[in-house]
Amino acid sequence: EPIEKAKRLAAFAAVDKFVGKDCKIIGIGSGSTVPYVVERIQSQGAEVNKDRIFLPTGFQSKELIIQAGLNLGDVDQHVRLDVTIDGADEVDSDLNAIKGGGACQLREKVLAEAADTWVMVADYRKNGTVLGENWTQGIPIEVAPFAYAKVMYDLSRLGSPIKSDPSVSGGKILTLRMGKAKAGPVVSDNGNFIVDAPFPREMMKDPKGLLTKIKLMTGVVEVGLFCGLAKAAYFGNEDGSVTARW
């Protein structure tokens, strides 16, 4: 299936390039692409992996590490990592990214900033130019449950539409992310809610500026905009090639 193959291609290329024998403390992201990252690291063999520690970015990530028989570590013990590899929901031409489709962006950003090298891996759908063009559901924002309505009000005042607006691609609106197999809102690994906030294209052209404004809203825990953090991004393509950007 072309998308899964593309994820695998990107993951393998990134591991081969950035997870060398000297890498001892490794962060593992979240989502459906990182299992291929773990698969490739595992294939490097028990000899090299026995001396490594792997830090998770959430419940799913932790289970991946445990099931692969890799050594599980904690960011309490390792405040600096050699490398973290993670997925992305969309990447723009400057390697800024929307993340948080899986509601893991708080721990992901902690391990992204704590790593000497942070690399994104994704399939071709994520390879974009301006954020919000392909990923139209909005910027995932983790918020304290107490403050979610207040933060949604602040976001609407900032420009996130509360009714369909032609200047916002996909026509999506500001939404509290609800569970599918769970009544009520999605709850993150940190016990918080997720608000998905689309913004007009003009605002998405300045993700750093938008990140700063949103992060300063009281009640916001973390914003799914990763700006100026990535050393490189690898995209698997439909034709079996890999595009690396840096």
Q: Mind telling me the catalytic residues?
A: 108
Residues between 210 and 239 with contacts to ligand DER, criterion CB under 6 A:
none
The single residue among 9, 10, 12, 29 that binds ligand DER, judged by CB under 6 A, is 29
Distance CA 97, CA 118 (A): 12
Residues between 76 and 95 with contacts to ligand DER, criterion CB under 6 A:
86-89
Quote the least distance from Cβ 126 to ligand DER, whole Å: 7
The single residue among 101, 161, 207, 236 that binds ligand DER, judged by CB under 6 A, is 101
Residue for token digits 């449950």? 145
Distance CA 153, CA 133 (A): 24
Task: Name the 3-class secondary structure at 238.
Answer: coil
Quote the least distance from Cβ 51 to ligand DER, whole Å: 27
The answer to the question of residue 138 lying near ligand DER (CB under 6 A) is no
Task: Name the 3-class secondary structure at 24.
Answer: coil
**Judged by CB, which is closer to ligand DER: 92, or 108?**
108
The answer to the question of residue 32 lying near ligand DER (CB under 6 A) is yes
**Judged by CB, which is closer to ligand DER: 108, or 189?**
108
Distance CA 51, CA 180 (A): 40
| Cα 175 off chain centre by | 19
**Judged by CB, which is closer to ligand DER: 49, or 137?**
137
DSSP annotation of 87 reads: -
Quote the least distance from Cβ 50 to ligand DER, whole Å: 27
**Judged by CB, which is closer to ligand DER: 82, or 89?**
89
The single residue among 33, 96, 137, 188 that binds ligand DER, judged by CB under 6 A, is 33
**Judged by CB, which is closer to ligand DER: 37, or 217?**
37
CB-neighbour burial class of residue 232 (10 A; exposed 0-12, middle 13-18, buried 19+): middle
Number of Cβ within a 10 Å radius of residue 46:
9
The answer to the question of residue 134 lying near ligand DER (CB under 6 A) is no
Quote the least distance from Cβ 108 to ligand DER, whole Å: 6
Distance CA 122, CA 92 (A): 13
List of E strands, 104-214: 115-123, 139-143, 175-176, 193-197
The answer to the question of residue 104 lying near ligand DER (CB under 6 A) is yes
The answer to the question of residue 100 lying near ligand DER (CB under 6 A) is yes
Q: Which helix (H) or strand (E) holds 9?
A: helix 2-18
The answer to the question of residue 31 lying near ligand DER (CB under 6 A) is yes
In this structure, is the dihedral angle defined by the CA atoms of residues 57, 62, 65 and 68, taken in order, positive or negative? Answer: negative
In this structure, is the dihedral angle defined by the CA atoms of residues 35, 127, 187 and 75, taken in order, positive or negative? Answer: positive
- Sites of contact with ligand DER (CB under 6 A): 29-33, 86-89, 99-102, 104-105, 108
